[in-house]
Chain A
Amino acid sequence: MLTVRDLSVEFTTDRGVVTAVDRVSFSVDKGEMLGIVGESGCGKSVLARSIIRILPMPPARIRAGQLTLDGTNLLDLSEREMQKLRGKAVTMIFQEPMTSLNPKFKVGYQIAEVFRKHFGLRSSEAIERSVEMLALVGIPDPEERAKSYPFQLSGGMRQRVIIAMALAGDPQLLLADEPTTALDVTIQAQILDLIREINERSGTSMILITHDLGVIAELVQRVIVMYAGQIVEMTTTENLFDRPLHPYTVGLRNSIPDIDSPVSKYDGPLNEIAGSVPALDDLPIGCYFQGRCPKRMQVCADRQPVLKEVSPGHHVRCWLND
């Protein structure tokens, strides 16, 4: 349904052009939930925003071999044509429920905007439909809550409102950028349940962006691991946990604390991946992960590995699997 081939996003900065997303290729099938994981700054949010084309351009520049949604080449569309798709065919929800809603408008009105814009409904009908959407995402007393301003709602409620807003257009593709990161753990679980339910009921394809492997394990079937703007591993969720091949993926998996082993002071510190993500304007020749890799070889510093399919559906960018 969504096909992305050789998508790159470059930013023009004071210190030159940096590549935030580097020749990324993947596809999402109808009804599929794809996860994208990686540390902050790995390009996962930029990737999602470039699909829906809401990056500020300039400084951003998108280049792609192909970016098609249901046969429509998104990069060929004018901004006006793109506006007709945003909120309807493809939409996005964000990390910060506290600030992602406009503080000066009632939440019902903010959802109703989608109905008015994309379905041409009159205000009263649009408000009725938004009350239905609020009920759908499990907000109690939706009629009253539609009249609330964002500051009158809790974080979890607001995230439900944002999800309701995203679903209002009945999108084919929903991009969720860290939808649960800013929420309490119990609320996180509720929101994840809601997302799963929506996916099962409406068959909406989703791209779920997160740095939380727990969320990945809960929800998605297939995962992309990104590092410094590149895909370093792409495989099923099962493989990701049982047979990770890239040292970075292994490191990510090992950094999850084991809930079953009691933590005591003899256990030593939590596992982590040493070092930090290299700056995008200061990337090494060869493999971008070489500086932090426990299995570094000479070839890693000389030449950059390519993303290879090592077994059906399992792609890795690492010289170890060459």
Chain B
Amino acid sequence: MIFYIVRRLLQLIPVFLVMSIVVFMFLHLVPGDPVDAILGNEATEEAKASLRARLGLDQPLIVQYFMWAGRVLTGDLGNSIVNGGSVLDTILQKAGVTIFLAIGSVLLSVIIAVIGGTIASANKGTWIDLSVLGAALVGVSIPSFWLAILLMMTFAVNWQLLPSIGYTAPAEDFTEFVRHLILPVVTLGAIMAGALSRLTRSEMIDQLSQDYIVTARAKGLSKFEIVYKHALRNALIPIVTFAGLELGTVLGSAIVIERIFSLPGLGQLIVESIFLRDYPMVQGTILFLSLIFVLINLLVDISYTLLDPEIRLGGEQRND
């Protein structure tokens, strides 16, 4: 098991390398010169040249990369071109909102999907199954921004139960924090639950047709024990894998949702920084999000060792 985890960690090294090159190159490939952005179009050539030299933009690309990578490794993501503040500090300050949003919505989607998917699979072909499938189809098909606006109009505007936009830090007022996050979390969670409950259902149907289920029935176990203990335990790996992927993609969806609900998270930060051509900020935020994405996948891989004894004990010999 230790070997498995160490191997997974070593495999991350090339991933990080490629990731950093892509993030670095990305800024040098998009049209628009950061120097123009900072100084404006009317600046003199000398002024531009001196700024280029100060930012290291006159160096060959490869040198620039290593200078940048070296700084990144020490935790220095540079400073904002717009306001001069530390990129890392800004990111860390805004990351909380996005992380709460992501974890909350993925948890919600897993809860909905596991309950819906298992109930559907245990009642395959009945109206219960069809209702779950129908609801899942709606979840998969609805665009997130539309659902967001719909929920906002219903719960915030018409019924005035929840705030429509904005954010309160949990340390400040926890109740308000929860109230502000409910609508965005439900929006993302409901949409992700669609695909995940379909996956759970098909995975559970597959498991419920296995031989060991018949053995469990012959032992006298109840339907509940068979579905929620024996079958679900075997269906968990694909469910966890998919939930991990969702946690990654939700970071992307957050850009839209944070915009709609005016949440001061990383998604908002990226959008604003792009408009302002704040290159170090965009670069730093994307790097940070990619890092989180990779770490989530690492966690999913490690969770396999808990979920599957065959992976956990992979090195052990079969006792034939």
Residues of A within 8 A of B (CB): 52, 54, 79-80, 83-88, 91-94, 96, 99-106, 113-114, 117-118, 145, 148-149, 151-154, 157, 162, 165-166, 169
Contact = CB atoms under 8 A, between A and B. Distances in A.
Interface stretch (B42-50, B184-192, B208-216): B208-216
A52 B320 CA distance: 32
A148 B310 CA distance: 11
Given A104-B233, A105-B233, A153-B319, A87 B211 contact: no
Nearest to A83: B220
B61 interface: no
A157 B285 CA distance: 55
Contacts of B212: 99-103
From A52, A99, A100, A165, name the one whose CB has the most chain B CB atoms within 10 angstroms: A100
Contacts of B274: none
Contacts of B316: 152
B233 A117 contact: no
Contact of B313 (A152, A162, A165): A152
A118 B220 CA distance: 8
17 contacts: A52-B218, A79-B223, A83-B221, A86-B219, A91-B218, A93-B218, A99-B210, A100-B214, A101-B215, A103-B234, A104-B234, A104-B307, A106-B309, A113-B219, A149-B313, A152-B318, A165-B215
A148 B320 CA distance: 13
A148 B211 contact: no
Given A152-B313, A152-B318, A154-B320, A94 B233 contact: no
Contacts of B175: none
A150 to B, nearest CB: 9
Given A99-B212, A157-B319, A104 B218 contact: no
Contacts of A148: 319
A149 B309 contact: yes
A102 B220 contact: no
Interface in B191-233: 210-212, 214-223, 230, 233
Contacts of A145: 319
A247 B319 CA distance: 46
B313 A87 contact: no
A102 B230 contact: yes
Contacts of A117: 219-221
Contacts of A91: 218-220
Interface in B44-85: none
Contact of B219 (A103, A106, A114, A152): A114
The 7 A-B residue pairs whose C-beta atoms are closest, nearest first, are A87-B220, A86-B220, A87-B219, A99-B211, A92-B218, A154-B320, A102-B212
A149 B307 CA distance: 13
A103 B234 CA distance: 8
A157 B211 CA distance: 17
Nearest to A113: B219
Interface residues of B, number: 25
Contact of A94 (B215, B222, B313, B318): B215
B275 to A, nearest CB: 50
Nearest to A92: B218
A103 B313 CA distance: 13
Given A151-B318, A152-B318, A152-B319, A94 B214 contact: yes
A153 B316 CA distance: 11
A240 to B, nearest CB: 28
Contacts of A151: 309-310, 318
A155 to B, nearest CB: 9
A54 B215 CA distance: 10
Contacts of B230: 102, 105
Contact of A83 (B210, B222, B233, B310): B222
B308 interface: yes
Nearest to B230: A102
Contacts of A54: 214, 217-218
Contacts of A149: 309-310, 313
B310 A86 contact: no
Nearest to B124: A56
A104 B309 CA distance: 6
Interface string B217-253: 1111111000000100110000000000000000000
Nearest to A80: B222
A102 B319 contact: no
A94 B210 CA distance: 12
Contacts of B217: 54, 86
A100 B214 CA distance: 8
A103 B216 CA distance: 12
A113 B210 contact: no
A99 B219 CA distance: 15
A316 to B, nearest CB: 32
A92 B216 CA distance: 10
Given A93-B218, A102-B216, A145-B319, 8 more contacts: A54-B217, A87-B221, A88-B220, A99-B210, A100-B212, A104-B309, A114-B220, A151-B309
Contacts of A154: 318-320
A91 B214 CA distance: 11
Contacts of B223: 79
Contact of B211 (A84, A88, A94): A94
Contacts of A166: 218
Contacts of B210: 99
Contacts of B233: 102, 104-105
